[in-house]
Amino acid sequence: MKQVLGRRVFGFAAAALLATVSLLPMQSASAETVLKMATDSGAKGTPAGDALDRWAALIENQTDIDVQIFYQNELGGQQEVFDLFVANDVNIMLNWPMTSYDQRIAVLYTPYMVLSWEEALAAYQPGGWINGMLDGIYADLGLKFFGAWPEGFNGIATKGAYATTVEDASKMKIRVPPIFPMAESVQALGYQTATIDWGEVFTAIQTGVVDGDGANVIFWDYEYFRDTLDYYNRTKQQFVTGILSMNLEAWEALSSEEQQVVQESATTVMTEGFANARALDQSYVEKAKAAGMTYIEPSDAEIAALAKAVRAKVWPMMEERVGAEIMEIIRANASQF
């Protein structure tokens, strides 16, 4: 959901890097087997970067596979890295997937599917109802779906003022990523929106092009924008998760023993993620407060009112993109209020 911040790789440098990556050998069941693992969001030392390190170590400690890790921006932006993944130039990922290849991936970003941590963790954990939908969608893309890596509920982070009503929100312009239905969800909350690449968000907020960021859990707004943002309003329009997955061609090139290790290692990373996500998210709430950011937590009644309004506007759009069958599953399992 986030495009990466920091050094971008362009021109000849990018071409040289991608050429080098594509030449890495990919042989099954030998000491020369290489898996190229990447994330589109998260530098080394961030929670996402740590998850990659953990996954790679688990694989390497139990097999002869050499895992080459590429953190945020080392292979390009969010769409560029997803393109490489679908093409099997990147073999394994923790990412916030784009909808460019299949609009059904927008299921991940359906607003107000779940309203509490308990419901979210049950829905996204292995065997959960949301995971069940995603498995088939990923297979159609030629990808092996392992499961979700949860971050938490997102919100609206702003500079100078914040909104608790549609009228106040209408006076503010908020950055959203180029992923359906992110803009539509924030618009349904009353805000104007602008689609801006992640690497340009700091400057856009600082110069007043937008009044804030409207897609992320508090970690990202604290970590990258705490010097420009004053408020974080946890509107909970999406429960944000990364996805652990693998290109099917790369998966099928592994031996059955290697496949078992990769699968079990992914499960370990996900299990640890589910165990730690809520406390990690809350730790960044406290860090944001200590840094001077005002944290706003709407009441359950206020969230229910937002959810009702946003569902009424956005869910019909979702049905056009993902199909009636998927929306029937969502309506049957989504949180009640």
- Per-block average pLDDT, block size 10, for the chain (337 residues)? 38 43 44 88 92 98 97 89 96 91 92 95 90 90 94 96 92 93 97 90 94 95 94 97 96 97 96 94 97 96 95 97 95 93
The whole-number pLDDT of residue 308 equals: 96
pLDDT at 12: 34
Same domain flag for 217 and 317: yes
CATH assignment at residue 121:
3.40.190.170
Q: Is residue 88 part of a domain?
A: yes
Q: Which residues lie below 8 Å from residue 94, measured CB to CB, with a gap of 6+?
A: 39, 42, 48, 51, 52, 55, 149, 242, 243, 244
Q: Is 85 inside any structural domain?
A: yes
Do residues 260 and 114 both lie within one domain?
yes
Give the pLDDT confidence score for residue 6 in this predicted structure: 35
What is the total count of domains within the chain?
2
Residue 308, domain extent:
156-238+285-333
Amino acid identity of residue 20, one-letter, is: T
Statement to judge: residues 310 and 176 lie in one domain: yes
Is the preceding peptide bond at 181 cis, omega within 30 degrees of 0? yes
Give domain status of residue 2, yes or no: no
Indicate whether 4 belongs to any domain.
no
Same domain, 32 and 110: yes
User: 54 and 190 share a domain?
Assistant: no
Neighbours of 272 (CB within 10 A): 14
- Say yes or no: 168 and 144 in one domain: no
* Residues 300 and 270 both lie in one domain: no
Residues 44 and 105 in one domain: yes
Assess if residue 5 is contained within a domain.
Answer: no
| One domain, residues 211 and 291 | yes
Write down the pLDDT at residue 25: 44
pLDDT score, position 166:
87
**Single-letter residue type at 215:** A
Separation CA 218–CA 163 (nearest Å):
17
Domain-embedded: residue 6:
no
As a whole number of angstroms, the distance between CA 182 and CA 314 comes to 10
Q: Does residue 164 share a domain with residue 296?
A: yes
- Same domain for 299 and 172, yes or no, is yes
Nearest to 250 by CA among 126, 84, 96, 49: 84
The answer as to whether 111 is a domain residue is yes
Answer yes or no: is 3 within a domain: no
91 and 147: one domain?
yes
Give me the helices (H) in the chain, please.
11-22, 47-62, 78-86, 117-124, 129-140, 166-169, 182-188, 201-206, 218-225, 248-252, 256-290, 300-322, 324-333
